[in-house]
Amino acid sequence: MQEQPEIRGAAERRTVTVMPVIRTLRTVARQVQQAQPVLFSGCSCQPLMVAVRSISFSPRQVTSDASFHSVSFSETDHPKVLITGGLGQLGVGLAKLLRKRFGKNNVILSDIRKPPSNVFHSGPFIYSDILDYKNLREIVVNNRITWLVHYSALLSAVGEANVALARSVNITGLHNILDIAAEHGLRLFVPSTIGAFGPTSPRNPTPDLCVQRPRTIYGVSKVHAELMGEYYHHRYGLDFRCLRYPGIISADSMPGGGTTDYAVQIFHDAIKSGKFECNLKPDTRLPMMYIDDCLRATLEVMEAPTDSLSMRTYNINAMSFTPEELSQELQKQMPELEVTYDVDPVRQAIADSWPMNFDDSNARKDWGWKHDYDLPELVQTMLNYFGAETRMARAN
């Protein structure tokens, strides 16, 4: 009982000592709070930099007169690249190309799936969910990303089977990507597609600018991406770049649920069984491109000087053919190949609403686009790849 007055007295002394500190902190807080409204007015005073850490500079909060800037390449030897959806048809190939150009550690593949061993050991890989804004933002900040290539998407036929998921991934995920890219001054590439056009679009050829009324959630989401990217460019100065890809053909990846995937599947089936059943009509003409041309076009448009770009979304094209024409070209090398047709009405309706041929004259004029592979070169390259793979399998 004797000790209680001493304890109370010590507490009182501590209170008296602490009060000036609290008053000082309150004064500083009031000064910072008063300074915050002028943070984006153009003032470059150093004391205000303390407040920037607490307000999260983002288009979700940004004032209408704000502006963004990309990191110039004078500030860094090479861009630091993040590829979302990196385990899809294009991500692994683009990472390989960019790593040759910029160095292995400057290109980070990301996905929500577990990578195969060869991909995991070929260069940096990280888990990234585009629907998790905080996770994505941390990756960009912690790795000092300057280029973002956004490949995460559900393709046409898969998207029609699960519209809710396609809407979430293709639209909500895109919004996260746009906000983070603008917030951190990234150069952003988002691919578009022949699926961004619809039955009322001119089909042969289809120009860069025309009516776009797609009939699939995939196409709708890609038109949305084009317009949102261009809006962010004009409103916030985001360095947004977009290419409308034709159907992409590659040997080292399996078909992923797209309407043009028959042009990949035919090679797998021809080598495996000598028989192929096509789910489109034999006279269905669509624009196509070999993957090496596609990846090179992506790199070239990302490296193109800003003042050379007359628009932010370009068509690119290489060739245009039908299932029948592809089969005939392949049968020149494999005359025993049997091709039959069992038309999928859903995929056929999608294909019938898409362009038959792309007009890519603006890409060729503005930044020098030029394809390398036509149909004969495509078929020979694919057969060479599968022939080498078959010989290796037999040797093993």
Tokens linked to 66: 């704000």
Tokens linked to 306: 């800003």
Place of tokens 């995991």: 120
Distance, C-alpha 42 to centroid of its chain: 32
Count of CB atoms situated within 10 Å of the CB of 261:
21
Q: 40 exposed, middle or buried (CB, 10 Å; 0-12, 13-18, 19+)?
A: middle
Question: Is the C-alpha dihedral spanning 74, 80, 83, 87 positive or negative?
Answer: positive
Q: Which of 218, 232, 262, 373 is catalytic?
A: 218
Q: Which residues are CB-neighbours of 207 under 8 A, at least 6 positions away?
A: 315, 359
CA–CA separation, 258 vs 261, rounded Å? 5
Of 170, 167, 210, which Cα lies nearest the Cα of 192? 170
b/e code 209-234 from CB counts within 10 Å (16+ = b) = eeebebbbbbbbbbbbbbebbbebbe
Q: Which helix (H) or strand (E) holds 272?
A: helix 262-272
Asked if 262 is an active-site residue, the reply is no
Q: Which residues are catalytic?
A: 218
